[in-house]
Structure 1
Amino acid sequence: MSDVTIKLPAAFHVLTGGQRQVPIEGATVREALVGLDRACPGVLERLMDPEGSVKRYVNVYRNDSDIRDLDGLETKLENEDVVWIVPAVAGGSGMVRA
């Protein structure tokens, strides 16, 4: 087990009692997220789809790397890693209006 920090956006602060980051243990990103849900019930419901995958509009990073480019939820964690939960940002047509 590794000691990691999970950093969360404001939308999750209601579930974390206002905490912006939560220390968690886990050997993989999945284990860390499950541990976070144990500490802050309701988190997984917002992060995962019914099949157990990260929802499309949620990005999860281990340090500076998107877990989709690594081993997904099975990405290994090491002590002092930071897991970032980042909602996707989208919108606009790309057209600049004067």
Structure 2
Amino acid sequence: MATVRLAPVLRAAAGGAKQVSAQGNTLAEVLADLYRQYPALKEQIQPEEELSRFVNVYVNDQDVRYLQGLQTAVGPNDTVILLPAMAGGGQE
């Protein structure tokens, strides 16, 4: 099973866990297993068919946008990192 590391903002949806395990041979399969275990994560990570553009997803520290996206291969010893993009800035 792959290790899925969750950013602090996502942990409440996974019972407070910093990381969880999910299985699959592609990122899409790993995420489907993750959503089966923690349904509340789906809305934050992948509300539509594609990944939210506000979430950065890495497999072994490589951004999946520069790999094969949801079809990126994931092995049992791989690490998937989910990092929602942070909006910032203030008013002047």
What is the TM-score when the length of structure 1 is the normalising length? 0.84
Tell me if 1:25 matches 2:23: yes
**Count of residue pairs brought into register by the alignment:** 90
Q: Of the two, which has the highest radius of gyration?
A: 1
Q: Which amino acid aligns with 2:54?
A: Y
Q: 1:43 to 1:25 in 2, by over 3 A?
A: same
Q: Where is the helix percentage greater, Structure 1 or Structure 2?
A: 2
Question: Do structure 1's residue 42 and structure 2's residue 33 form an aligned pair?
Answer: no
Gaps of 5+ in 1: 94-98
Are 2:51 and 1:54 aligned?
yes
Segments of structure 2 that go 5 or more residues without pairing to the other structure are none
1:4 and 2:5 are equivalent in the alignment: no
CA RMSD of aligned residues (A): 1.4
Tell me, in whole angstroms, the C-alpha distance in 2 between the residues paired with 1:91 and 1:14.
Answer: 22
Q: What is the one-letter code of the residue matched to 1:63?
A: N
> 1:49 offset after TM fit, Å?
3.5
- In structure 1, distance between residues paired with 2:42 and 2:3: 16
